[in-house]
Structure 1
Amino acid sequence: MGVAICLHYAVKKYQNRETKENDQGPESGQVDKEISPAENDHESTFLFHPEQYKDHVDVEHIKLTKNDPVHESGQVDKEISPAENDHESTFLFHQEQYKDHVDVEHIQLTKQPEEDQSLTIFEEINQFKRLKTVTIIGLKLDDTSLSNLFQCTSIRSLKISNCQLASIPRSLANLKDLEILDLSRNNLTTLPARPIRSLPCLKSLNISHNKITVIRDVVKKLQALQHLDVSYNAVGEIPYEILEMENLEFFSCSHNKIARWLDPSNGERKASTCHLASLNMSSNLLAEVPQNVKELKNLSVVNLSDNKIGENIPDKILRQQISELFYLPSVSTNNELEDLPLVLCFLPSLTKLDLKQNKISSVSENVKSCKSLSVLDVSHNRLKEIPSQVIRLPELRVIDASNNQISSVSSLRKDESSVVEDVALADNCLSHFPEALIQTKSLKKVDLSNNNIKEIPETIMDMPKDVKLELKGNPIIDPPLEVCQAGLETIQAFYEDLTTASSITQCLKTLFLGTYEAGKTSLVRVFQLDRSNLTKTGERTDGIEVAELHLSAPNTSDITLSVWDFAGQETYYITHQFFLSAKALMLLVVNLEEYDSARFYSTCGNWMENMIAKVGNPVVIPVATHIDKLEPEEVEPRIAEDFDKNLESRMPDHLLLCVAKKLGAEWERLAIHMGFTKANVYKFKCDHLYNTDQQILAMLTTWRDRKGRNATRQELQRVLIEAGVDVISCL
């Protein structure tokens, strides 16, 4: 049996499991369109035709739903309905009609709670010898009506929900064949223990959403019970007898006041024969993991979220408790556990482990004992690495470790292998492409987005070509960004071209960028002609001019430059971004004669931001021209004291992302200090749900855009220091 341990921050709801006999099933359950009195009629339509009853004597469930009550003839009979919206077994409101329905096997009557209507069940109901299923929802019932109903000893399924019941008559014990009992959403404070324990066939008991405080006397001797739901009550403790219920498979006691699971009253603990597979004890008052849980060897789902586990227990003692249980309890972010060792060696059938939204900083090596684990979710934690013992688990197919602080993934040894198919490592601190992923030949999908990877290694040629690789949000330099954005197949083709070409010409793409009349074309001609040749007005560049320039130097190989001379008119700016490349050398040409501090953004800063936005980390050489028109004492201040200073202070996205990854939960305080409102902070969160790094990055980039040219490293350092945030090192 597979196991799933759930640690979600939200409490999961369990669905009721329908109990069926192996040798029974609906017969003649197909809708007969010929019989239907109206086009929309369906299910059990034979009820309109008494002559057909003999053909359906073995059915166990009857369902007939109409917008209005219908007569046998198929005509709407308004006289039968006590209210306009009544439907289904409305004859229950009319004692004189009972004699016409004595052969029904199913009764269903549902009213909306706000209608506050009562139902009286008359003693003639005891003539319904074939009645097997009763569903009554939202109607007030008194004890006399219940006692009359309980005379129908053939009932196998009974649901009386939201009927404002304060007590249950002891005559319930008459229903010896009852298998399903649902008394949910009433006002019960106690249950008649003896009558319920006198139901030898009872398989499912739902008493959720009541006011019950004790269940011990009820569960005793219910050996046939498979499904027990006592959630949303006021139960304070779990009786030990739960462990003695051999057939119990599902037990939910969430949203109570449970603080402990009792030991046997006689002090003699026996080996549990309980086959419980699903246990939900979420939203209670547990201060520690119940020791009785370790007796449940067949558990497949455990939920202990939203308790007080670990709140007042020293870490050393807590770890010992976990070790003794030989399993990891489900703990949500509302608990106080941190850095838990995964002592899972006694759960060899574990298939899914969900640890998201906690504060876990390491994965215990004991996880290697989970030989059947196929899905591991450790997202939104504080992990710094993925150990190799995780990757090489023999059945592990999916790993989600996104939104952590992971900087490395341990590589596999030559004698080790992995069957992992899906790896999510987005929003971490990886600066290198993990070699372990290249070694994993079973991969089908890898998400490395929003890390700090600058280079994709040539060994990526060994990765299967059909892997879906996501690399967005990384400051990649090599291969060129446009190659990486095209996917794994294009990256591999790029490296294949480099390695298989018979001869490779060393050609460097060189871009000459800058404002109009900065001197770009004249500079290109200097390289071409090896002498100064100023550009005349009619010779200035329109659009882009491309040429080759061959350079040679002593003791070096010849180099060919592919020179791209871009027009400096503002009309052409929008086209420049399509030709920028991380593999290109960019010369930013600035007319120093016309330069001053006020023009820095238009002559240089704007160009730098556009290159960073497109390429990530561009290789840029600033070139100052028209120096000959300045006095010598004017050159140095403009270059060293103003131009270089402003250029160095720019704030690229990858630097802001680095700050975002280090900020953590204190970012909201920083946002308020930066002048953002609580509404702004809320919008950052809504725009990037469950991704704290992207929330912080959105806040920082918005701050940078607001500050404009004043958004410098020095300014950000000042704001961080004033806010008391210690992440200055990454700047």
Structure 2
Amino acid sequence: MTEEELLRVIEQAAGEGWTELDLSGKELTVLPPEIGKLTQLKKLILGKYEYDEDGDIVGPIGNELKALPAEIGELKQLEELWIVDNQLSQLPAEFGQLTNLQSLYLSDNQLSQLPAEICQLTNLQSLNLYNNQLSQLPAEFGQLTNLQSLYLYNNQLSQLPAEFGQLTNLQSLDLSDNQLSQLPAEICQLTNLQSLDLSSNQLSQLPAEICQLTNLQSLNLYNNQLSQLPAEFGQLTNLQSLYLRGNPVPIPPEILASGNAKEILDFYFRTQDPKETEPFYEAKFLIIGEGGAGKTSLAKKIEDEAYELQPEEKSTEGIDVLRWDFPHNGQNFRVNIWDFGGQEIYHQTHQFFLTERSLYALVADSRKENTDFYWWLKVVELLSNNSPVIIIENEKQDRKCEIDVRQLRGEFTNLKEALPTNLATNRGLSEIKKNIQLYISNLPHVGTPLPKLWVRVRSALENDSRNYISLEEYRTICRHNKLTDSKDMLRLSQYLHDLGVCLHFQKDPVLKNTIILKPEWGTTAVYKVLDNKKVKENLGRFTQNDLEDIWHENEYADMRDELLHLMMRFKLCYPIPNSPNTYIAPQLLDINQHEYNWDETNNLILRYEYEFMPKGILTRFIVETHPWIEQQKLVWRSGVILNKDQTRAEVIENYNQREIKIRVSGNRKKELLAVVTHELEKIHQSYERLQYNTLVPCNCNSCKGSQEPYSYPLDKLKKRLDAGRYKIECENSYDEVDVRRLIDDVNLQVSGREQELTPRVTPLQQELSQERDESLNRQNLQPKLTMNYLDFQLLVTADKKIRASSDQGDDSGELRLEMNRIKLTLKLIESRQTDTDLLKALGGELYQALFPPKIHSHLRATIAGANAHGDNVRLRLTFESPELAALPWEFLYDESTNTFLGNNTQTVLSRYIDVRLEKRDLKAKAASKPLKILLVISSPTNLTKLDAAGEERLIREALEKHINAGEIELDVLQEATIRNIDQKLSEKPYNIFHFIGHGEFKDNKGFIALVDENKNSKLLDEVGFANLFLGNRNLGLAVLNSCQGAELSSNQAFAGLSPNLVRRGIPAVVAMKYSILDSTAKLFADYFYRYLALGLPVDTAIQKTRNAISINVGLDKPDFATPVLYMRAKDGIIMSGL
């Protein structure tokens, strides 16, 4: 905007008495004094943040203002002032005249100090000063006593004035990324503080007075220098979240990782008592290097110096684990020596066992001189969080190794030294063992005080000769050794998992119920597959029958499913869709690129260049994206073609050039590229220090459509964004292009306070995640279903009394609702005039009514208890009053966790009908294939005509991939007479009756409209409709997709059609409470029936379906809460074999 244009805008605003003016992104360098004329302004924006549709920050939109005119002080009516993303180095003294200011945003400037006059802004409630250069705050700062939120992160503050304690109304304070070495005692006066962020400072201790912040709920102390906590810390009884990672405090990372303040503080103060603790002296020593270098010889010599080397020492296949003990501080120190096979095939699979808090030895053979020191040291650096490493120079026949250790140390700070030895004569062996003891005893976790009960359990596991035990057997061992706290049991198993003592994947639905006590047993099983001759000859292809031959020994017979899942978890193989029980190990695929055609028109191109490229990135990517491999054929060891919705992506790795190149063509290329980058970034983030450049293609007219466009390093684009420079020149055409457009073209977004560039999570990404999960779980149905639930039953009586019961006990309360306000909201929902805030407001009101404080605490405690065991909570609602039952409780919204209960991942929600269930053989297993669905479409001629063909097509399209996979069988009946339905039900043992048609509600009763012999409507009430299914022991579910199928009478308890169908004998009914979009109907059928085919309980299936709808359709529409589930099976198992 030119100066003249700006002056015209100011004149117009002054003349018309504007109260708000937005001048962000106008490339202003000067703000004229005429701005003082706008005395009516209440809000002025000179720089702000741009947000996307999901509410995430896309980037700042500022100007280039270096100063503000004194006349800014004339804007005395201002209540909100935004000057984000400019170049201000100071504020004028007149700034203090803005006494009505309530919100002030000055982030992303160059302010080095604040004027004393800022103290005059006594009405200020919110102040944002992050990303500046402030080194101190004026003492007068303490006069801003109405401040409620203050953000000062990423400045240069080294201390806070004592007057800071006067900000007694402060509720949220962020001081992270400064240089604070201590806090003033006066901070204890901030008694209203709820959130305090002190991360990334230099604090070595906390004042005891911090205990007076009794309202504090969240405290972030990440990345400081704290080695202890004040004893008074335990008085922060409202503290829920505590972040202490990155401090030398003696608490294992597994405890700190939860962020649960109670768990962390309980552990810390428990281990402060030396009578209750023992120091932990155990560590992992990993020996790596090329095949034949002498790794096994070194391991055996460390264990037993008298061991005689064999002329041809057998190479290690996979991994061997040996034990070595030595005395340390008067106690026994146990070392677990991991001897890694050196063959090429193992290189990319070993990475899953290269752990932190370990000592590494890289063995080099002096005769072969084939050790790639750089590669091995880089692997350790990336995968072990810079754990210490020593080089062992295996000087066979006393031939010296030539290693430039000084040069290697210059690049690898974790390289300690190189030690020569001749293992045949034991020369240098004692020195090696002495150094191993030195370095391994100085690992950060060594000597950490652990509860004595933990050490006792560890000892019991160590003496257990079994290869694996069940989770329940582990709990029994814990209880036998007096460890009875369930959460403590899981903390210990996680701690031992991270140390490599055992394997327990607590978050994996299949593996969480098994603890592998001997990790080498599991790894040996994995390598047996990768080393198998037949599997290699078949280019990585194998079947379940092959696994029975490979794992034929008794020790594997009962664990084949778990071991296969272990391989899939490590991304070592994937199931081939629509080829039951068949898998591919991608590292064994054909090395040669396949032939295929490629449309080079208007491609999107992206490249990654790596400073060092670890092996296995592309094969892991293939596993992650395997459902979309074109024809399940266009894949080779270093490349893959993905195909989704007529859009193709070519992803090729050139390992020698350390590059991955991506090309995408088709209608949805931008979305598919976002999926590819998202999956690659996930893999990148699994490495600690992976250095790479993302090269973004130019979109100028010359480069657009070219196969070799000019590319910009993403870091360079980010720096330009940070500097407010939104244009950049193409080196090919010399045209200027927009930086934000470049980033948007490859579907990246700026997020977080440091404006990191990350791929957007799109609906297409969600689709891949779903298909991948289905593909993986399809092969492991039975283990997948070993899920446990804690029950939480809520009964609301006719007189509005609430009774809550669970394993935590019983509680009671009274339900209070403002029905008139709710009824107004329901009318908006029925007409689909909704947004997220409206639905949250409704859900919040329903939640507060149904969960008064005591019952809310009861629910949260139940959920916390379930989480501790990796379980979910089954929330069952029962209402005696039809009026209350008619309310849409599926919108329940917990503001404290920002979640809708109807679609979150910790609970499953249903309406429970408490009647006796006919005894059936109901076991939690996948349905007898295929799941049989009868779709009945009823369109009487005397009612509004339905598009029967369209309805059928919609359902068929939704289920097509499941029908083709043999998982679901769909039959359709469009002449919905009683006779036809009865005949159809007798032909086949249908599991599900899906009705699409009309419903009527009259005389306080619900009716389903079928068709009579004259093709007019024939109304059936719940008795008549339920009679259709009398004696049918296969049918477990009726789905009513009718406009009023989910309506309930407000006058008569049993008048509602759906709950009464359950009372009449149908195990479960799902009804749509509101009209839904066709796209939602397709999503519902796709997800819900797929989950049922997998054998999930019906309430779990409906919960996952609601979640999928919310992701795809959004939380601003009522669709996700429209499916209402009524059931009478407490465990959600509703049909035989399902």
Q: Which has the larger radius of gyration?
A: 1
TM exceeding 0.5: no
Normalising by the smaller structure, the TM-score range is: 0.3 to 0.5
Which structure is richer in relative contact order (CA contacts within 8 A, separation 6 or more)? 1
TM-score (norm 1): 0.44
